[in-house]
Structure 1
Amino acid sequence: MTISQVKQTAKESLRGNWGIAIGIFVLAWLIETVGGGIIGWIPVIGWIAIFLLTGPLYTGVAWVYLAISRREQPDVAYMFSGFKQFGRTVLAYLLISIFTFLWSLLLIVPGIIKTYSYSQTFFILRDNPNISALDAITESRHMMNGHKGRLFGLSLTFLLWYLIPLAVAIAGTVIIAGGMATTSYTADPAEVLSALAAGATFGGLVLILASWLITLGISLYVYPYLITSIAVFYDDLYAATEGTFTEETVIVEEEVTSFGTTEADPFVEDTHPEGFGPEATKEPETPETPEAPEAPKDNNEPK
Structure 2
Amino acid sequence: MTISQVKRTAKESLRGNWGIAIGIFVLAWLILTVTGGILGWIPFVGQVAMILVTGPLYTGVAWVYLAISRGEQPDVAYMFSGFKEFGRTFVAYLLICIFTFLWSLLLIVPGIIKTYSYSQTFFILRDNPNISPLDAITESRHMMNGHKGRLFGLSLTFLLWYLIPIAVAIVGSVIVFSGAATSSYYSTDPSQVISTISAGAAFGGLVLILASWLITLGISLYVYPYLITSGAVFYDDLFAASEGTFTEETVIVADEEVDPFGTTEADPFVEDTHPEGFGPSTAKEPEVPEVPETPVTPETPETPEVPETPESPEAPENPEAPKDENEPK
Deviation at 1:175, TM superposition (A): 6.0
Q: Is the 8 A contact 2:10 2:233 kept in 1?
A: yes
Residues 201/125 of structure 1: CA separation in 2 closer, same or farther (3 Å cut)? same
Question: What are the equivalent positions in structure 2 for 1:65-104 lying under 5 Å apart?
Answer: 65-104=65-104
**Stretch moving more, 201-210 or 95-104:** 201-210
TM-score (norm 2): 0.74
Q: What one-letter code is carried by the residue in structure 1 that aligns with 2:53? A: L
From the CA coordinates, give the structure whose radius of gyration is larger.
Answer: 2
Deviation at 1:187, TM superposition (A): 8.3
Aligned-pair RMSD on alpha carbons? Answer: 2.4
Deviation at 1:176, TM superposition (A): 6.4
In structure 1, distance between residues paired with 2:76 and 2:157: 28
**Given the alignment of the two structures, is residue 113 of structure 1 paired with residue 91 of structure 2, yes or no?**
no
In structure 1, distance between residues paired with 2:40 and 2:61: 21
What is the match of residue 242 of structure 1? Answer: 243
Per-residue deviation, residues 110-129 of structure 1 (Å, max 9, x unmatched): 11100000000000001111
In structure 2, distance between residues paired with 1:132 and 1:177: 56
What is the match of residue 12 of structure 1? Answer: 12
What is the match of residue 168 of structure 1? Answer: 168
In structure 1, distance between residues paired with 2:180 and 2:256: 63
Deviation at 1:183, TM superposition (A): 10
**Given the alignment of the two structures, is residue 201 of structure 1 paired with residue 207 of structure 2, yes or no?**
no
What is the match of residue 220 of structure 1? Answer: 221
Q: Is the 8 A contact 2:180 2:200 kept in 1?
A: no
Q: What one-letter code is carried by the residue in structure 2 that aligns with 1:26? A: V
Identity of aligned residues (%): 79
Deviation at 1:284, TM superposition (A): 3.6
Q: What one-letter code is carried by the residue in structure 2 that aligns with 1:231? A: A
Query: Secondary structure in 1 aligned to 2:131?
Result: coil
In structure 1, distance between residues paired with 2:56 and 2:180: 45
Per-residue deviation, residues 189-248 of structure 1 (Å, max 9, x unmatched): 4211332441243123212210110000000000000000000000001111235x65xx
In structure 1, distance between residues paired with 2:231 and 2:91: 22
Q: What one-letter code is carried by the residue in structure 1 that aligns with 2:149? A: G
**Stretch moving more, 78-87 or 36-45:** 36-45
Q: Is the 8 A contact 2:118 2:141 kept in 1?
A: yes
Q: Is the 8 A contact 2:116 2:151 kept in 1?
A: yes
Question: What are the equivalent positions in structure 2 for 1:125-144 lying under 5 Å apart?
Answer: 125-144=125-144
What is the match of residue 232 of structure 2? Answer: 231
Residues 93/277 of structure 1: CA separation in 2 closer, same or farther (3 Å cut)? farther
Deviation at 1:35, TM superposition (A): 1.0
What is the match of residue 25 of structure 2? Answer: 25
In structure 2, distance between residues paired with 1:125 and 1:165: 36
Query: Secondary structure in 2 aligned to 1:16?
Result: coil
Q: What one-letter code is carried by the residue in structure 1 that aligns with 2:257? A: E
In structure 1, distance between residues paired with 2:170 and 2:91: 38
> Which of the two has greater helix per residue?
1
Per-residue deviation, residues 66-113 of structure 1 (Å, max 9, x unmatched): 000000000000000000010111111011011111111111111110
In structure 2, distance between residues paired with 1:80 and 1:47: 20
In structure 1, distance between residues paired with 2:23 and 2:215: 18
Deviation at 1:39, TM superposition (A): 1.5
Q: Is the 8 A contact 2:184 2:196 kept in 1?
A: no
What is the match of residue 60 of structure 2? Answer: 60
In structure 2, distance between residues paired with 1:179 and 1:50: 44
Residues 126/142 of structure 1: CA separation in 2 closer, same or farther (3 Å cut)? same
Q: Is the 8 A contact 1:179 1:197 kept in 2?
A: no
Q: 5+ residue gaps in structure 1? A: 247-258, 269-274, 286-303
Question: What are the equivalent positions in structure 2 for 1:171-190 lying under 5 Å apart?
Answer: 171-172=171-172, 189-190=190-191
Per-residue deviation, residues 50-75 of structure 1 (Å, max 9, x unmatched): 11001100110000000000000000
Q: What one-letter code is carried by the residue in structure 2 that aligns with 1:74? A: P
In structure 2, distance between residues paired with 1:188 and 1:278: 81
Per-residue deviation, residues 241-269 of structure 1 (Å, max 9, x unmatched): 235x65xxxxxxxxxxxx3x4xx32x57x
Greater relative contact order (Cα 8 A, min sep 6): structure 1 or 2? 1
In structure 2, distance between residues paired with 1:45 and 1:229: 35
**Given the alignment of the two structures, is residue 37 of structure 1 paired with residue 37 of structure 2, yes or no?**
yes
Deviation at 1:188, TM superposition (A): 5.1
In structure 1, distance between residues paired with 2:49 and 2:142: 32
Residues 75/192 of structure 1: CA separation in 2 closer, same or farther (3 Å cut)? same
In structure 1, distance between residues paired with 2:102 and 2:221: 32
TM-score (norm 1): 0.80
Query: Secondary structure in 1 aligned to 2:119?
Result: coil
Residues 216/276 of structure 1: CA separation in 2 closer, same or farther (3 Å cut)? farther
Residues 76/174 of structure 1: CA separation in 2 closer, same or farther (3 Å cut)? same
Q: Is the 8 A contact 1:173 1:208 kept in 2?
A: no
Q: 5+ residue gaps in structure 2? A: 264-329
